[in-house]
Amino acid sequence: MADCCESELEVAELEVSQRRVLIIVLVINLVTFVGMVFASWLSHSSALLSGTLDNLGDALTYSLSLFVVGAGVTAKARVAVFKGVLIALAAVAVAAQIGWRIYHLEVPVVATMGIAAVLNLLANGVCLYLLNDHRHDDVNMMSVWECSRNDVNEGVAVIATVGLVWFTQSAWPDLLVAIVLLVMFSRSAIRVLTSAFEQLNTASLQGA
């Protein structure tokens, strides 16, 4: 009986910890999203736009993750499916924007792009650090951590892009990095969806 109560207490404490972390990273992503919207518009950067869409998707993801903390495996897996779809939609949006930029080449504004990229990377680094301890908790937190890791990789890539755009005075480095991010988003969507569907199948078999 004591072991049972102790186990329930540990689960409750874990859920409180998960909610606290998710609220913090949700606020960070909402603030970052607003800043990135203006920065991507002012700088005309496709790579920065990919980060903007990613921040929006992450904010929605963290909101959903908060909703299913403490829920069953099936509910968490269904939310993970939705997260995977959001990542895939971000990839489609970036692909469309890349196509438009190819026919309307414009060199991004390096100063604006650089400041936004550094601030975005710092914010995403904080989020990844906060989520790291919860990455193995369940499929819900794993998919959230996956999104955050994408953000950090994307932030590093965008900062590298700033240097290349400045050095070449060309829009092509920005477009090429945006294409790399597009591939990264697509692979991440596949990983999240695969894991989520495996969880759904397992839950279905157990319930049968």
Q: Return the residue matching tokens 């919207």.
A: 37
H helices of the chain, where?
Answer: 2-43, 46-68, 73-103, 110-132, 139-168, 172-207
The tens digit of pLDDT for each residue in 12-63 reads 677 788 888 888 988 998 888 888 888 888 888 877 877 777 777 777 777 7
The structure's pTM equals: 0.71
Taking only the tens place, the pLDDT of each residue in 153-201 is: 888 888 888 899 899 988 888 888 888 878 877 887 787 788 778 777 8
Cβ atoms within 10 Å of 134's Cβ, excluding its own: 18
**Domains by residue range for the chain, with CATH:** 2-207 (1.20.1510)
Q: How far apart are CA 100 and CA 71, in angstroms?
A: 42
The CA distances from residue 83 to 106, 113, 142, 161, 162, in Å, are 32, 27, 11, 27, 29
